[in-house]
Amino acid sequence: MDRAPRMSGRRRVWAGALVSALALALPLVGAGQASAADVNNVKNAGFEAGLSNWTCSAGSGSTVSSPVHGGAAALKATPSGQDDARCTQTVAVRPNATYRLSGWVQGGYAYLGVTGTGTTDVSTWTPDSGSWKQLSTSFTTGSSTTSVTVYTHGWYGQAAYHVDDLSVFGPDGGGGGDPEPTVPGAPGGLGVSGTTSSSVSLAWNPVSGATGYTVYRDGTKVTAVTGTSATVTGLAASTSYSFQVAATNAAGESPRSTAVSARTNDSGGGGGDLPEHAVTGYWQNFNNGATVQKISDVPSHYDIIAVAFADATATPGAVTFNLDSAGLNGYTVDQFKSDVRAKQAAGKKVIISVGGEKGTVSVNDSASATNFADSVYALMREYGFDGVDIDLENGLNATYMTQALRSLSAKAGPSMILTMAPQTIDMQSTSNSYFRTALNVKDILTVVNMQYYNSGSMLGCDGKVYSQGSVDFLTALACIQLEGGLDPSQVGLGLPASTRGAGSGYVSPSVVNNALDCLTRGTGCGTFKPSRTYPSLRGAMTWSTNWDAAAGNAWSNAVGPHVHALP
């Protein structure tokens, strides 16, 4: 969310560029299995011998012992300045042969490709990933090709990336030596990480040599994934199920893991006594030219009021709240607390938002996760907040934010409100850290109000690119969340309240209402129409109640009643 009304153009251009790159890269992912006679032609494919046989630009590469996908080492390469941390190896191959190129990546933006094939050079990539993710593609060599160059690289200005267990499987070119894969062992550590009324989330330990995992429910295969977690959806409420997981690679499938049982909830998601369809508004604890408000000034159309923002402290992960009394015309802490209580007495929820455009709260280990949970709970007790909003726009660690939110929920109880406000890029794929976090805490999550602004063009769930400012942009991007594992009651549409509320992406309230109708009723759609409707869609959010007030409350007066009248 913007503390200032305008954003720089850089993020919007960058996001659009990512869409173009992603649209080009997506068709390359995936390749057939290697045959029994194939070998891995890459030398030192797992970096167990350091950087032997590899060359990295500008000294950008090194080997690390953690994180690793298999064995005891992996490559870590760090982009810097105009260097994209490119690491290469010349691999011996046979002419007129087909090879499968694959590797496991984690961390920043990671690319995998091959040049010098004598036919069509290929590549694939992924945005930043908090867990190991497999990239794969295939290529055919030319009639005189005896070697190719395999490469990995990151992207300028992005975080370091990690690579492990690279392979070029195909006919022996005479220069390889890594063995063919063998059937992996059974996964261990299978456990239940969360439940809702219609889903069970599972997690397990990685298996060396595995390229994927198959999940079984009551003995029947229900899904296949490449990571070490999965959410099984479409389950009946208040019902017990048994789950197992098997590891897979080109050689076959492992024995299944020890079974675990899980029972779905009576009803899913957090939110206490919120209405079925709710409107969220951010209230500014600062003056940036919008109307200065007290909490008592927020219109009754708003069901959740997110106080923006908590402030980071010198303690990693910990936050505090400092009311800007001077900037809010002398609004006192006692008045603020009294107004919070009055809103709650009227059936509203008031929560503390963590992050924003300039928020720098970092939760990246167990200690900071504990500090986050303890400090947010202390604010809930001091000010009477009903919960927390996660609006971290500068990075999020799915593992430790999940730990922090579960710890906070255990302290606050089942009525805690938990909302999120990711940017559009954060919810393009379930592999992104924000999306994974939302799925990890689905059983305690109230709503994800993605910001449909300041983003540029993005991919919809149909693989097409949509531009800001249209019904299609709202519905096709919401579809990714609705079909990616979130319950419709956990999905909301986040829009600016006025043209001054964001640098780009404002749409009139009538467009917001059309998108809500399209998703819940199948009416009011643009060129994109979802394959089904989602009558329990939670509602809408705006930045901010202050910008709404500055525009005569036009947004809440139009969208509020429409949300509350949804089916």
Would you please indicate which residues are annotated as catalytic (active-site) residues? 393
**Is residue 452 within 8 Å of 504, Cβ to Cβ?**
no
Render 55-80 in DSSP notation, one character per residue: EEGGG-EEEESSS-SSTT-EEEE--B
Quote the CA–CA distance of 425 and 16 in Å, as a whole number: 10
Of 231, 227, 111, which is closest to residue 161 (Cα–Cα)?
111
Concatenate the DSSP letters of all residues of 222-270 into one string: EEEESSSEEEE-SPPTT-EEEEEEEEEETTEEPPPPPPEEEE--SS-S-
The answer to whether 164 touches 154, Cβ cutoff 8 Å, is: no
- Write the DSSP string, 96-149: T-EEEEEEEEEES-EEEEEE--SS--EEEEE--EEEEEEEEEEEE--TT--EEE
User: Strands 349-356, 387-392: parallel, antiparallel or unpaired by DSSP?
Assistant: parallel
Rounded Cα gap, residues 551 and 547, in angstroms: 6
**Among 286, 273, 306, 242, which Cα is nearest to 449's?**
306
Interatomic CA distance for residues 169 and 101, integer angstroms: 7
Using alpha carbons, select from 453, 451, 456 the residue that is nearest to residue 500. Answer: 453
Q: What span, in angstroms and rounded, lies between the C-alpha atoms of 420 and 439?
A: 12
The candidate with the shortest Cα–Cα distance to 464, out of 449, 453, 475, 452, is: 475
Cα–Cα dist 416/350, whole Å: 11
Structure letter (DSSP) for residue 219 = T
Contact 125, 24 (CB under 8 A): no
- Backbone φ and ψ for 465, nearest 5 degrees, come out as -95, 130
Tokens 């299609």, located at residue: 472
